[in-house]
Structure 1
Amino acid sequence: MADKKPAAKGNKGKNLKSRMYEVKEGKVVRKGQSCPRCGDGVFLASHADRLSCGKCGYTEYKKK
C-alpha cells in the first residue's frame, strides 16, 4: 500500500481580517460593506454577481 502525502496547506486564511480594515489619519476605517441585518463586524462577501452574508444568508445582487 502506498503512503499518502498530507494535503498541502496554504496561507489562504491567514490575515483575512487585516485586509478588511485600513488605517487613515490614525483611525481604523472599514473597507468592505457590512451586513445590514447582522450589523458592524460582519462583512458581505463579494462575488461576481452578488454580495452575500455568510452568517445570516442576506444577499444583494449587483446591477449590470
Structure 2
Amino acid sequence: MRTKRYEFYESEGDTVDRLKKSCPRCGPGVFMADHGNRLACGKCGYTEFKQEA
C-alpha cells in the first residue's frame, strides 16, 4: 500500500507546511518514518533516536 503524498503536507491560506521531518542526508522530499522511539529514512537508512522526556 502506497501512502498518498498529499498526506505529508498541510496547507493553510498561502502557506504549506510539512508534517513529517525530512532526511538530513537525502534532502527535502524524502521523509523519515516514525517508528515510535526513532525516526528512520527508508531510502538511505539514516536513523535518529527520540529522547524520552
Note whether the superposition's TM-score is higher than 0.5.
yes
Alignment of 1:13-52 (within 5 A): 13=2, 16-52=4-40
The answer to whether the aligner puts 1:62 opposite 2:50 as a matched pair is yes
Q: Which moved more, 1:20-29 or 1:41-50?
A: 20-29
Larger of the two Rg values belongs to structure: 1
Structure with bigger strand share is 2
Higher RCO (CA-CA < 8 Å; seq separation 6+): 2
After TM superposition, the score normalised by the length of structure 2 is 0.84
Whole-Å Cα distance in 2 between the matches of residues 32 and 48 of structure 1? 13
Per-residue CA distance 1:1-35 (angstroms, 9 max, x = gap)? xxxxxxxxxxx425x21110111222222111000
> Which amino acid counterpart does residue 59 of structure 1 have in structure 2?
T
After TM superposition, the score normalised by the length of structure 1 is 0.72
Can you give the 5+ residue segments of structure 2 that lack an aligned partner in the other structure?
Answer: none
> Could you tell me the percent identity over the aligned residues?
50
RMSD over equivalenced CA pairs, Å: 1.3
Number of matched pairs: 52
